[in-house]
Amino acid sequence: MDRNGIDEHADERRRMTADQIAARGVRDAKVLGAFEAVPRHLFVPRSHRFEAYEDHPIPIGAGQTISQPYIVAYMTEQLAVDAGSTVLEIGTGSGYQAAILSYLAREVHTIETVEVLHKRAKQLLESLGYSNVFCYLGDGYTGIGEPKSFDRIIITAAAPRIPETLAALLRPAGRMILPVGSPYGYQELVVVEREGQGIRTRSLIGVRFVPMTGSIRRKGGGS
């Protein structure tokens, strides 16, 4: 908002939500409402704010990007968050996805391995009043470093395989969504759902994300 309390980017958010997200098939009213509410321009570097509401990824530093609005919305809708959900996000990045999820979930726990991005996102989320978002600095391969399970897990960087350590954190009927594939080749969004003592997976669409870093790339095995 400007100094007079006027939200000068509200129309841009409405157009983004209508033209880039709803027009391409995202229908969940609560998801669309979150995209109209969160000030995306504050989550990108000042030098890129002129393109904050355009339909493409934007670099945020440290070799990372904020994903295009449609992909964020598509993943959010497929995650099927409800008001009682406790969500884990692997890869805080700019903090934008966590802000979107904060409108939909009871709690959002988000972890980032790059310290400068963690500090920047944590400060921004706190300054904007997202009090149900909790930020952590760390690898994320095994969660947030404390014994806690989650209703929903979202990974916003490409993993070479489904991380079994994270799938194990899903509660009964829990769901995880992540891009899986080569950092420089084919990737697809995959949904992982807990069914009893096992999991079921299904593929959605082809995507392109920056690679997930840390111990997952040093460990063999996995699904």
List the chain domain ranges.
Answer: 10-217
Lowest mean pLDDT, pick from 44-48, 58-62, 214-218: 214-218
Question: 10-217 adopts what CATH topology?
Answer: Rossmann fold (3.40.50)
Mean pLDDT of the chain: 91
When pLDDT is averaged across residues 115-138 and rounded to a whole number, the result is 97
- Say if CB 132 and CB 66 are below 8 A apart: no
| Predicted local distance difference test score (pLDDT) of residue 218 | 53
DSSP codes, 154-212? EE-SBBSS--HHHHTTEEEEEEEEEEEE-SSS-EEEEEEEEETTEEEEEEEEEE--PBP
| Predicted local distance difference test score (pLDDT) of residue 177 | 98
Based on the residue annotation, tell me whether 67 is a catalytic residue of this protein: yes
Q: What is the reported pTM?
A: 0.92
| Predicted local distance difference test score (pLDDT) of residue 222 | 40
- Give the C-alpha separation, 32 to 38, whole Å: 10
pLDDT in tens, 147-184: 789 999 999 989 999 999 999 999 999 999 999 998 88
Task: Using a pLDDT cut of 70, give the percent of the chain over it.
Answer: 93
| Predicted local distance difference test score (pLDDT) of residue 4 | 42
Looking at the predicted structure, is the pLDDT value of residue 216 above 80? no
pLDDT in tens, 72-104: 999 999 999 999 999 999 999 999 999 999 999
* 219: number of Cβ within 10 Å: 14
Contacts 24+ apart (CB under 8 A), 163-171: 163/216, 163/222, 164/221, 164/222, 164/223, 165/141, 166/88, 166/90, 166/141, 166/142, 167/192, 167/194, 167/199, 167/223, 169/88, 169/143, 170/194, 170/199
User: Please, what sign has the CA dihedral across residues 211, 214, 216, 217?
Assistant: positive
Instruction: For residue 141, name the pLDDT band (cuts at 50, 70, 90).
Output: confident
Instruction: For residue 197, name the pLDDT band (cuts at 50, 70, 90).
Output: confident
Instruction: For residue 3, name the pLDDT band (cuts at 50, 70, 90).
Output: very low
- Give the C-alpha separation, 191 to 17, whole Å: 24
Copy the structure tokens of residue 185: 């080749």
Lowest mean pLDDT, pick from 3-12, 59-68, 163-172, 183-192: 3-12
| Predicted local distance difference test score (pLDDT) of residue 219 | 53
Given the residues 47, 67, 131, 149, the one annotated as active site: 67
